[in-house]
A and B are shown apart, each in its own frame.
Chain A
Amino acid sequence: MLSVIIIIALTILVLAAAILAVQTTNLVVAVISAGLVSLMASVGYLFLSAPDVAMTEAAIGSGLSTIIFFYVLNRVRGKDHG
């Protein structure tokens, strides 16, 4: 029962964060939302009995990707976007 509620909540959060990441005009918000998609997906992988995948997605998909994105954003920082 509890696991069904948790998986529905995770589904809603993942889809909402993905739509926000694609639709927003602020690049910082877009990158943070993409990180949230990976993070919530990796909690979901634990439900699917895949702890290895969950750890990889958390460390690489959410951690290192976000860091590289922010380095690039800092490099190309212009006047028209924040």
Chain B
Amino acid sequence: MADTLFLIAGGIIILSLFVAAIRFFLGPDPVDRVIAFDVLTIISISLIALIAHEAGRGIYLDVAVVYGLLSFLGVIVVAKYLERGL
């Protein structure tokens, strides 16, 4: 029962990964692509949690913590570059 629910949730996450990637490849401005990049990294955190759950290894969550840091830092670097404040 619970495994089926996680399977469906995983399918929806993959679908949203593709939908966000559409905006990344389409996006007219760099700003739009940065938003899509941010959303893609945050979806990847969920994906890592799902992989850790499937593999049954809690230590994979360390990678997710590093991801959370990087999604923040990457967006800020690009934003500061765009507004000429680097």
Contact = CB atoms under 8 A, between A and B. Distances in A.
A70 B33 CA distance: 15
Contact of A6 (B14, B25, B59, B84): B14
Q: Interface residues of B: mostly helix, strand, loop or mixed?
A: helix
Contact of B74 (A47, A62, A82): A62
Interface string A49-80: 10100110011001100110011011000000
A13 B17 contact: yes
Interface string B11-35: 1001001100100110000100110
B14 A5 contact: yes
Contacts of B66: 55, 58-59
Contact of A63 (B24, B60, B74): B74
Contact of A32 (B14, B21, B51, B78): B78
Given A3-B54, A47-B51, A55 B21 contact: no
Contact of A51 (B17, B21, B62, B86): B62
Nearest to B18: A9
Contacts of B63: 42, 46, 51, 54-55, 58
What are the nearest 5 A-B pairs in CB distance?
A74-B86, A63-B70, A28-B30, A2-B10, A70-B81
21 contacts: A5-B10, A9-B14, A17-B24, A28-B30, A32-B78, A35-B37, A39-B41, A39-B44, A39-B70, A43-B51, A46-B60, A49-B55, A59-B70, A62-B70, A63-B70, A67-B77, A70-B77, A70-B86, A71-B86, A74-B86, A82-B30
